[in-house]
Amino acid sequence: MQYYVCAVTPRGALLGAKIARALNGRLFLKEGVQVSLDWDTSYFSSLKSFMAKAFREADAIVCIMACGIVVRTISRYLTSKQKDPGVVVVDETGRFSISLVSGHLGGANELAAIVADSIGAVPVITTATDVNGLPAFDDIARKKDLVIEDFGALKAIHMALLRGEQVIVVDEVGVLKHELTSWDQGIIQYVCGVGNFERICPNDIGHDRGNVTSFLKTDSEAQIKETMGNDLELHGKKDGVPRESLHENLVYVGIKKKDFTVKNLLRMYPRARLFIGVGCNRGTSKEEIVESIETVIGQYNLFPGSVKAICSIDKKVDENGLIEAADKLRLPIEFFSKEELSQVHVPNPSSAPLKAVGTSSVAEAAALLGAGKGGRLLVEKKKFKNVTIAVALKSFD
């Protein structure tokens, strides 16, 4: 994290140096402020020019001055809660540490508390979910590196919580199991694994229960395909449901673009957790490789933003079609030796790659190596004319 701390008075400068040291951040002072400090210091000619630089470069900004000055100065640089850095304001006596902008996604709420702790100040947090002791899903998304699909849905879910309505959280991959299980189950109904959802509303599953299982607990591709291929639906029934709002508000976290029939649906996807293993014949075109990858992503309805990298054997390091395909998809490539690939247990070893490159698996083994320890094969190898594709999921533990 890149923290910028700025002050415009000598007293503010002394406090700023203490905060910068606690954050291991950079300290900026207004030109003309004369004070002896034991922290590297840069100077700015105007607060306007400093803020322009800080909004381009910093992850968060701490301003030691009046809130009004900060508000007037940063107003021209504010774009959206998705992009703005967190801004914290501290009075020059160090009494209050105020989260001003981007409290959740920008981390200003958390930063205000850290700053307050470092100088003995009172943290001032005003976001509604926090002051009411409720979870903020944009803050959770920042901490867990999740992509929020629709910020309108985020607002609707937060408003539902503030009205006292129950929100179901269906966490298909278990990424939030340490974040939400402690919340009041009267407000947050947390479900780890889509298959467990039937325990909440057994009369409202849109498919046979036998077809609704958690892929995290399956080992065969047939089971995974069954899970990934079925969407779970909620209908407007009330039988067996403890609260009417149970059908209104749902948060889904997973790597599949699922649909649920509810009024307010917030979908969040883990960023960069999928690894695509690729095996290909020599001279295979970029277009065929890209089409094969996109076909698998589409067939399994995977969220493209969850893909971290393409993985293959190091004998393909000069394969132009593969290199160009990765560039087209804006993904890095990780290469592994035949010795590394040969050590990986895969469900579908083959004599063809063994003869061609010296290992019985390229796509599946490379995907699993990319996913690392605890990773599991999500999509077993799919054969195309000149390309083989497999997908592995990195563990969340």
* 282-293: pLDDT as tens digits: 999 999 999 999
d(CA 353, CA 380): 16
User: Does a structural domain hold residue 115?
Assistant: yes
Q: What CATH number is associated with residue 322? A: 3.30.420.180
User: Does a structural domain hold residue 217?
Assistant: no
Q: Is the domain of 326 the same as that of 339?
A: yes
Boundary residue ending a domain (106, 126, 146):
126
Q: Is the domain of 88 the same as that of 143?
A: no
**Do 132 and 162 contact (CB within 8 A), yes or no?**
yes
Cβ neighbors of 122 (< 8 A, separation 6 or more) are 95, 96, 97, 116
Q: Is the domain of 141 the same as that of 262?
A: yes
Mean pLDDT of 237-250: 50
User: Does a structural domain hold residue 220?
Assistant: no
User: Does a structural domain hold residue 210?
Assistant: no
How confident is the prediction for the chain on average, in pLDDT? 84
Q: Is the domain of 366 the same as that of 293?
A: yes
User: Does a structural domain hold residue 376?
Assistant: yes
Kindly give the residue spans of alpha helices, DSSP state H, lying in the chain.
10-23, 47-57, 67-74, 108-119, 128-131, 137-144, 151-162, 177-180, 221-228, 286-299, 320-329, 338-342, 351-357, 363-371
User: Does a structural domain hold residue 214?
Assistant: no
Boundary residue ending a domain (126, 141, 170):
126
* Residue 232 clears pLDDT 70, i.e. is over it: no
- Enclosing domain of residue 100: 3-126
Mean pLDDT of 155-173: 90
Cβ neighbors of 16 (< 8 A, separation 6 or more) are 5, 6, 7, 27, 29, 62, 64
Fill in the DSSP letter of residue 84.
Answer: P
Q: Is the domain of 280 the same as that of 264?
A: no
Among the ranges given (15-29, 247-261, 323-337, 352-366), the one the predictor scored with the smallest mean pLDDT: 247-261
Q: Is the domain of 145 the same as that of 257?
A: yes
Domains: count for the chain: 3
The confidence score (pLDDT) of residue 47 equals: 96
Q: Is the domain of 93 the same as that of 144?
A: no
Q: Is the domain of 264 the same as that of 322?
A: no
* Residue 211 clears pLDDT 70, i.e. is over it: no
The confidence score (pLDDT) of residue 188 equals: 80
Q: Is the domain of 140 the same as that of 258?
A: yes
pLDDT tier for residue 247 given thresholds of 50, 70 and 90: low
Choice between 202 and 368, residue whose per-residue pLDDT is larger = 368
Three-state DSSP state, 74: helix
Among the ranges given (122-131, 205-214, 378-387), the one the predictor scored with the smallest mean pLDDT: 205-214
Sign of the alpha-carbon torsion through 94, 97, 100, 105: positive
d(CA 392, CA 395): 10
Find tokens 């694994």 and name the residue. 193
Per residue in 252-268, pLDDT (tens digit) is 998 888 777 788 999 99
User: Does a structural domain hold residue 211?
Assistant: no
User: Does a structural domain hold residue 379?
Assistant: yes
CA 368: distance to chain centroid? 21
pTM of the model: 0.72
Q: Is the domain of 23 the same as that of 102?
A: yes
* Residue 210 clears pLDDT 60, i.e. is over it: no
Per residue in 41-97, pLDDT (tens digit) is 999 999 999 999 999 999 999 999 999 999 999 999 999 988 999 999 999 999 999
The confidence score (pLDDT) of residue 73 equals: 96
Per residue in 326-349, pLDDT (tens digit) is 999 999 999 999 999 999 999 999
